Amino acid sequence: MRRLAAYVSGPHSGLPPEVQAAFQERCELIQEVCEDERYTCYCPHQHATLDEAEVAPREIYRNAADAIGSAELLIADCSLPAAGVGAACQIANDRDIPVLLVAQQGTVVSRMIRGLPAAVKAGGEADVVRFTDDAELGHRLRDRLVALKEPLMMNRERRSAEGISLEALREYARTRHIPYARYQRLRSLVAAAVGGNIPRSAEDWEALDIA
């Protein structure tokens, strides 16, 4: 069975060198815990170029979006306000990828981030993994990763099924030349259709459309 994949997002620029180094060490600790629990973990700083000034912002965004889109879980370190972390959380949310929030004790995590629909919940509220030091973070994160394995596997299967169904719908729309408004109406049925006999081909969508 393919391992689950996680992406770690944290403050990455504009910090004093010693603070930046501490965040990178924390990211690598998270990566180590993930690997122990059989998650493949992506830390952005390990993939950065030596001179980011030479990389266009749109390329940085595209690379991050592609990596997040390939993950089943985003782990967001919200111990400091960071626009990049907020953007990563929104990308994950838009792609229906769960977001696990972690933050040092005593720091404020914005209500906007805690209100993300994709944020992992404890009851009805965002489940922010609080820690006093990195050792405690490692222990608490390990517990969350173990608990999340089954729902993340189920979410991966659902997203895969939806992707197959949407590709079949695009083929149906292209080959049958259906109006855009009708395509959008059918597209809204994808999530509801998943779980039963989902449409997997243009012919399946045609039968659903006629019905």
Top pLDDT among 12 and 33 is at 33
Q: How confident is the model at residue 169 (pLDDT cuts 50, 70, 90)?
A: confident
What pLDDT score was predicted for residue 50?
47
- pLDDT tens-place string over residues 93-102: 999 999 999 9
CA distance 62 to 59: 5
What secondary structure does DSSP assign to the chain, as a single string?
-PPEEEEEE---SSS-HHHHHHHHHHHHHHHHHHHHTTEEEE-GGGG--S-GGGS-HHHHHHHHHHHHHT-SEEEEE-SS--HHHHHHHHHHHHTT--EEEEEETTPPPPHHHHT-TTB-EETTEE-EEEESSHHHHHHHHHHHHHHHHHHHHHHHHHHHHHHHHHHHHHHHHHHHT--HHHHHHHHTTHHHHTTSS---SHHHHHHHHH-
Name the packing angle between helices 202-210 and 180-187 (round to 10°): 100
For the domain made up of 4-157, the CATH class stated in words is: alpha beta
Task: Find the range with the poorest average confidence among 88-92, 171-175, 183-187, 189-193.
Answer: 189-193
Per-range mean pLDDT, top range of 75-79, 173-177, 196-200: 75-79
What pLDDT score was predicted for residue 196?
58
CA distance 7 to 41: 6
- pLDDT tens-place string over residues 29-85: 999 999 999 999 999 988 865 455 677 888 888 989 999 999 999 999 999 999 999
Measured between its terminal Cα atoms, the distance across the chain in Å is 37
Top pLDDT among 184 and 101 is at 101
Top pLDDT among 143 and 178 is at 143
Q: How confident is the model at residue 187 (pLDDT cuts 50, 70, 90)?
A: confident
What pLDDT score was predicted for residue 194?
47
What pLDDT score was predicted for residue 198?
73
What pLDDT score was predicted for residue 52?
59
Domain boundaries, the chain: 4-157, 161-210
Q: How confident is the model at residue 168 (pLDDT cuts 50, 70, 90)?
A: confident
